[in-house]
């Protein structure tokens, strides 16, 4: 494994970068997670993306250089994290949906209050909780820390599954969720609820 993310790779198209992040390691505050599930978001071309209407104070990091962390609050209570991809000035990011805790299991258990290892970082909010990540990490350079991303070898093509993103009303059917086939840490799929 390399010592830091390959920024040239992260500068690629989000649909190429997203599956390439599977198997990568993310480390923060004594815990390391091996990524098993991600979702791609393509900025202005994607009604499911926070950045579809252009830059805002919340989304400015998505328009910055690749290889930085975009962290945001979901439903006013959960922190979720993304890896910024693509060219600077054009927003795209990969949501980190789930992973396997491979180091710091006891610490992740304390943060998550669960004993089931498969559930420690299963779901984007749980992944951030297990890693002790908060909104203060928004904009972090993932090659310098305190959150570190280390890429693994690209997964074999037959090892990657794809399907619709979870819980979206905008472009819900795009098959832009990627996961390692057969991994027990992958979150359960729930389509978006229709508005009444």
Q: What angle do CA 166, 44, 78 make, to 5 degrees?
A: 40
- Report the distance separating Cα 22 and Cα 73, nearest Å: 23
d(CA 181, CA 179): 6
**Residue 1: which pLDDT band, with cuts at 50, 70 and 90?**
very low
The token pair at 88 is 């600077």
Spatial distance between the Cα atoms of 168 and 24, rounded to a whole number of angstroms: 25
CATH superfamily of 7-180: Methylpurine-DNA glycosylase (MPG) (3.10.300.10)
Q: Is the pLDDT of residue 44 over 50?
A: yes
3-state percent helix, strand, coil for the chain, nearest multiple of 5: 20, 30, 50
Q: Which pTM does this prediction carry? A: 0.91
When pLDDT is cut at 50, 70 and 90, the band that residue 148 belongs to is very high
Q: How large is the average pLDDT for residues 148-172?
A: 87
**Cβ atoms of 165 and 48 closer than 8 Å:** yes
pLDDT tens column, 74-91: 866 799 999 999 999 889
Predicted confidence band at 5 (pLDDT cuts at 50, 70, 90)?
very low
> What are 9-43's pLDDT values in tens digits?
899 999 999 999 999 999 999 999 999 999 999 97
* Three-state DSSP state, 109: helix
Is the distance from CB of 166 to CB of 177 less than 8 angstroms? yes
DSSP-based three-state secondary structure for 32: strand
Averaged confidence pLDDT in the chain: 89
Amino acid 183: pLDDT: 96
Residue 81: is the preceding peptide bond cis (ω within 30°)?
Answer: no
Mean pLDDT, residues 156-184 taken together: 89
CA distance 17 to 84: 10
pLDDT of residue 7: 58
């Amino acid at each position: 494994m390399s010592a830091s993310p390959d920024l040239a790779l992260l500068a690629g198209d989000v649909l190429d970068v997203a599956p390439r992040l599977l198997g990568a390691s993310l480390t923060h505050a004594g815990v390391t997670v091996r990524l098993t599930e991600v979702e791609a978001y393509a900025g202005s071309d994607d009604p499911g993306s926070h950045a579809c209407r252009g830059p805002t104070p919340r989304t400015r990091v998505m328009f910055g250089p690749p290889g930085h962390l975009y962290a945001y609050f979901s439903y006013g209570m959960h922190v979720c994290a993304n890896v910024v991809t693509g060219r600077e000035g054009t927003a795209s990011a990969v949501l980190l949906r789930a992973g396997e805790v491979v180091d710091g299991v006891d610490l992740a258990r304390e943060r998550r209050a669960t004993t089931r290892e498969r559930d420690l970082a299963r779901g984007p909010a749980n992944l951030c909780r297990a890693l002790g990540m908060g909104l203060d990490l928004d904009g972090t350079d993932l090659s310098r820390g305190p959150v570190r991303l280390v890429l693994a070898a690209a997964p074999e093509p037959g090892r990657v599954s794809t399907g619709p993103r979870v819980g979206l009303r905008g472009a819900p059917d795009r098959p832009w969720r990627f996961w390692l086939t057969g991994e027990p840490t992958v979150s359960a799929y729930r389509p978006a609820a229709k508005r009444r």
